[in-house]
């Protein structure tokens, strides 16, 4: 039996079915000779007197609850409960009880229902087994232990929260906090930290209302300064009272609104103290606190929206070019925070907010702000623009198209965005990346509206490609301009903005190519016309001379996206411009290195092989196969060669079939030879029937052939007749003059030919005459 002592509280069930505390002491289990049994002994901590001596009965049901409670009935209406400070102590005593009764310690109750249902039905409830010690300096440790123990039990947490709500317990604790600080009682301050943190983790809005009131909130922050895990206390109150300054960019006349703003900031600060590193697991512990902050923000935004004059004056000052720079910066920071709070609104309220902002001219203000030299102003204006784009890209597009009716190209809002993206001075292009994402959202056809009598997609894309696209691709055109200095272009210093080795320039070009790739996928018609008219793919592939692999990969992805559409116009454009050449060169320069560039280019050719894009297969094999002939670690290039040979053989067979069909057509029109042909056909029908391969007229240009055949006139020479050979086959035998034989020249005048049904005859009169003399169904000849 365990002889270790564990702290425990002993409760007994009173006549009114309420639990009363009998005392607190140390518990152990030991064998008592007098009782001839193992007993549970609880002795007082203060004087060592015996509080409880209970024999462990073999047939009495004991129940473990919530990991820290053990409950049983000594006799009728006499329940006993032990509340342990430490779950480990509860587990140790429970193992002793189960050992005496011969039960598995993993069970929650030692007797089954069939063993004693009456006793189990009368098992006393322990849901109210929470009793707060008196709020005094010497009981702080006991109070802290209580809060630590109840956190594992939802029922006990609920009971403790109800007790705290109905009493002024929290205010008494905060009074003791001042006493401990005055006395420099570090142990008491550490216990208060545990207690206040435990109250916060009870996750109850009524408790938050008490703790975050103007009277209590700074004392709560003070208690959180004394973390036992820290050697020195933090200075949270000093930061809130001295460092943090509340700035009213515009006078706020409503005192309730001002108080709500102060409270929300401080509560958010407390939340960040408890969870400095966000975690989805710990966040659930303070879900009610998060909701408290959320509803505070909703209330703040709603109160500001009710004041139309306030928002109008803020936007008016933002648009006013005479506004002081510091004032404008503060106004912009306020507006960013205001838009951030607006994300907490319900959809209907958010609609009303952003509609109001657009009517008040927020986009006109942002266009001015984004063109300013102040870096912080630009970044903040971009953040506000992001809120608007996320809410409704259509509203932005409508504004831009209305603006385009009267404005110059350079003054258009989209062109201002593109200009800011291109001119970003950040070495990592953080601002350009954000703006590129926003531009992509505006160009995404999936969120464009299509309604009767109005098509936002076509209107906006027509506008963009006509008046904005040239600004977007300007860096590509300037970098690949024919007027550039070739040596400086390829080998110039990295500081040279036009050099392909300049990291910032290359990163910008990569961003632009990624957006163009997105356009190829989603703007099939508009981007196709632009690429073909501007020879844009050639310009993009010129960037593969850069030493930066990520730019080369961007160019390969752009070309891969075009080929992935399987558009024959793109394919002909690539073939005509020999645009695989820079890709093949990059592959060969990369050598045997197994990297992303190697994989991307192989995947490009593999896609062409798998999809059997005939025109590209032929072009690649005819132009570049010698460069790939020795590559054996993948079968892609040999597979391309096989596809090419198969298609070539198929085309040769088709040409032979076309020759045969034309010759037989000629023979069938000769009335003098029809009877002999019918007889031979009847003979062949009873032996074998071989069908000719189908005709195909959908061949690539490089396979086009022409067959020149001279057809004799009806009133001129006689047509060659078919004569059977000894092998049963038919051969051509001329019955005309030698001149006619020369006139109908073929690869071989005695070649085998096939007779097939040819329904598409243009001469209808001849067909009618043939129908009278020929069988209903023309059989096939095996030639």
Q: What is the pLDDT of residue 432?
A: 92
| pLDDT(335) > 60 | yes
The enclosing H or E element of 422 equals: helix 413-422
CA distance linking residue 771 with residue 774, whole number of Å: 5
| pLDDT(528) > 90 | yes
- Cβ neighbors of 498 (< 8 A, separation 6 or more) are 478, 479, 484, 488, 489, 492, 505
| pLDDT(135) > 60 | yes
pLDDT class of 348 with cuts at 50, 70, 90: confident
Question: DSSP string of 173-199?
Answer: HHHHHHHHHHHT-HHHHHHHHHHHHHH
The enclosing H or E element of 80 equals: strand 78-84
Q: Which of 68-82, 299-313, 473-487, 516-530 has the highest mean pLDDT?
A: 516-530
| pLDDT(142) > 80 | yes
Q: What is the pLDDT of residue 613?
A: 94
Decide if 711 contacts 674 (C-beta within 8 A): no
The enclosing H or E element of 82 equals: strand 78-84
Average pLDDT for 423-427:
88
The enclosing H or E element of 651 equals: helix 636-668
Q: Length of the chain in residues, anyone?
A: 783
pLDDT class of 485 with cuts at 50, 70, 90: low
| pLDDT(695) > 80 | no
Decide if 411 contacts 358 (C-beta within 8 A): no
CA distance linking residue 578 with residue 580, whole number of Å: 6
Distances in Å between the alpha carbon of 175 and those of 194, 205, 453?
A: 16, 22, 71
- For 328-336, the CB contacts below 8 A with 24+ separation are 328/369, 328/377, 329/374, 329/376, 329/377, 329/380, 330/247, 330/249, 331/249, 331/250, 332/369, 332/377, 332/380, 332/381, 332/384, 333/249, 333/380, 334/247, 334/249, 334/250, 335/384, 336/380, 336/383, 336/384
| pLDDT(762) > 70 | no
Q: What is the pLDDT of residue 76?
A: 64
Average pLDDT for 82-106:
86
CA distance linking residue 632 with residue 691, whole number of Å: 40
Q: What is the pLDDT of residue 303?
A: 86
pLDDT tens-digit readout, 208-244: 999 999 999 999 999 999 999 999 999 999 999 888 8
Q: What is the pLDDT of residue 499?
A: 73
pLDDT tens-digit readout, 262-293: 999 999 999 888 777 655 555 566 788 888 88
Least confident of 548-557, 677-686, 729-738: 729-738
Question: DSSP string of 544-590?
Answer: GGSS-HHHHHHHHHHHHHHHHTT-HHHHHHHHHTTTTHHHHHHHHHH
Q: What is the pTM of this model?
A: 0.62
Decide if 83 contacts 12 (C-beta within 8 A): no
pLDDT tens-digit readout, 565-574: 999 999 999 9
pLDDT tens-digit readout, 386-402: 999 988 898 899 889 98
Q: What is the pLDDT of residue 705?
A: 38
Look over the chain and give the mean of its residue pLDDT values, rounded to a whole number: 79
CA distance linking residue 306 with residue 701, whole number of Å: 70
Burial grade of 84 (CB within 10 A; 0-12, 13-18, 19 or more): buried
Please tell me the number of Cα atoms within 13 Å of 420 on its side-chain side. Answer: 30
Residue in 73, 76, 26 with CA at minimum distance from that of residue 54: 73
């Amino acid at each position: 039996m365990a002889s270790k002592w564990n702290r425990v509280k002993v409760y007994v069930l009173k006549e009114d079915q309420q639990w009363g505390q009998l005392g607190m002491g140390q518990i152990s289990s030991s064998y008592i000779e007098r009782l001839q049994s193992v007993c549970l002994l609880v002795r007082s901590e203060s004087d060592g007197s015996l509080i409880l001596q209970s024999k462990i009965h073999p047939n009495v049901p004991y129940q473990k609850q919530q990991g820290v409670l053990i409950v049983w009935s000594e006799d009728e209406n006499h329940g006993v409960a032990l509340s342990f400070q430490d779950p480990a102590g509860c587990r140790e005593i429970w193992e002793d009880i189960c050992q005496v009764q011969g039960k598995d310690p993993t069970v929650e109750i030692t007797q089954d229902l069939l063993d004693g249902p009456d006793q189990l039905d009368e098992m006393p409830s322990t849901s109210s087994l929470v009793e707060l010690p008196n709020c005094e300096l010497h009981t702080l440790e006991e109070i802290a232990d209580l809060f630590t123990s109840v956190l594992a039990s939802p029922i006990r947490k609920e009971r403790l929260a109800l007790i705290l709500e109905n009493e002024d317990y929290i205010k008494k604790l905060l009074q003791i906090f001042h006493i401990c600080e005055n006395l420099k009682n570090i142990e008491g301050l550490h216990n208060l930290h545990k207690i206040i943190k435990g109250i916060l983790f009870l996750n109850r809005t009524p408790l938050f209302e008490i703790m975050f009131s103007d009277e209590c909130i700074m004392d709560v922050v003070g208690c959180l300064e004394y973390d036992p895990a820290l050697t020195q206390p933090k200075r949270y109150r000093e930061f809130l009272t001295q460092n943090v300054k509340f700035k009213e960019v515009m006078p706020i006349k409503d005192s309730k609104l001002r108080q709500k703003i102060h409270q929300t900031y401080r509560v958010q600060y407390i939340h960040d103290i408890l969870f400095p590193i966000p975690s989805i697991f710990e966040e659930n512990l303070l879900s009610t606190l998060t909701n408290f902050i959320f509803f505070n923000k909703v209330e703040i935004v709603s109160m500001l929206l009710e004041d139309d004059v306030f928002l109008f004056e803020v936007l008016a000052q933002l648009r006013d070019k005479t506004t002081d720079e510091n004032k404008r910066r503060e106004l912009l920071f306020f507006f960013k925070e205001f838009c951030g709070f607006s994300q907490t609104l319900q959809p209907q309220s958010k609609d009303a907010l952003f509609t109001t902002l657009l009517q008040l001219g927020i986009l006109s203000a942002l266009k001015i702000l984004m063109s300013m030299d102040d870096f912080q102003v630009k970044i903040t204006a971009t953040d506000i623009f992001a809120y608007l784009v996320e809410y409704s890209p259509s509203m932005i597009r409508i504004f831009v198209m209305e603006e385009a009716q009267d404005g110059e190209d350079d003054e258009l809002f989209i062109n201002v965005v593109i200009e800011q993206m291109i001119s970003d001075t950040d070495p990592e292009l953080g601002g350009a990346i954000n703006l590129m994402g926003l531009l992509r959202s505006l160009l995404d056809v999936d969120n464009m509206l299509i309604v009767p009598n109005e098509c936002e997609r076509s209107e906006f894309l027509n506008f963009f490609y006509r008046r904005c696209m040239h600004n977007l691709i300007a860096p590509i055109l300037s970098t690949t301009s024919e007027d550039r200095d070739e040596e400086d272009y390829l080998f110039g210093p990295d500081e040279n903005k036009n050099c392909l080795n300049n990291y910032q320039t290359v990163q910008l070009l990569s961003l632009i190519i990624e957006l163009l790739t997105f356009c190829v996928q989603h703007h099939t018609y508009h981007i196709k016309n632009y690429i073909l008219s501007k020879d844009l793919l050639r310009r993009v592939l010129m960037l593969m001379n850069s030493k930066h692999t990520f730019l080369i990969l961007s160019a390969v992805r752009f070309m891969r996206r075009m080929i992935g559409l399987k558009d024959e116009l793109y394919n002909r454009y690539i073939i005509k411009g020999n645009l695989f050449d820079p890709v093949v060169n990059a592959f060969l320069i990369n050598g045997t290195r197994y990297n992303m560039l190697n994989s991307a280019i192989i995947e490009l050719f593999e896609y062409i092989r798998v999809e059997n894009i005939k025109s590209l297969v032929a072009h690649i094999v005819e132009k570049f196969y010698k460069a790939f002939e020795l590559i054996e670690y993948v079968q892609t290039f040999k597979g391309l060669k096989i596809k090419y040979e198969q298609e070539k053989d198929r085309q040769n067979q088709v040409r032979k079939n076309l020759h045969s069909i034309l010759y037989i057509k000629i023979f069938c029109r000769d009335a003098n030879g029809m009877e002999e042909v019918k007889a031979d056909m009847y003979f062949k029908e009873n032996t074998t029937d071989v069908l000719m391969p189908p005709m195909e007229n959908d061949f690539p240009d490089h396979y086009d052939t022409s067959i020149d055949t001279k057809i004799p006139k009806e009133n001129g020479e006689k047509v060659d007749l078919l004569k059977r050979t000894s092998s049963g086959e038919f051969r051509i035998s001329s019955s005309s003059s030698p001149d006619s034989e020369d006139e109908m020249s073929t690869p071989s005048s005695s070649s085998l030919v096939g007779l097939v049904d040819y329904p598409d005859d243009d001469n209808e009169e001849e067909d009618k005459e043939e129908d009278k003399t020929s069988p209903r169904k023309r059989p096939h000849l095996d030639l």
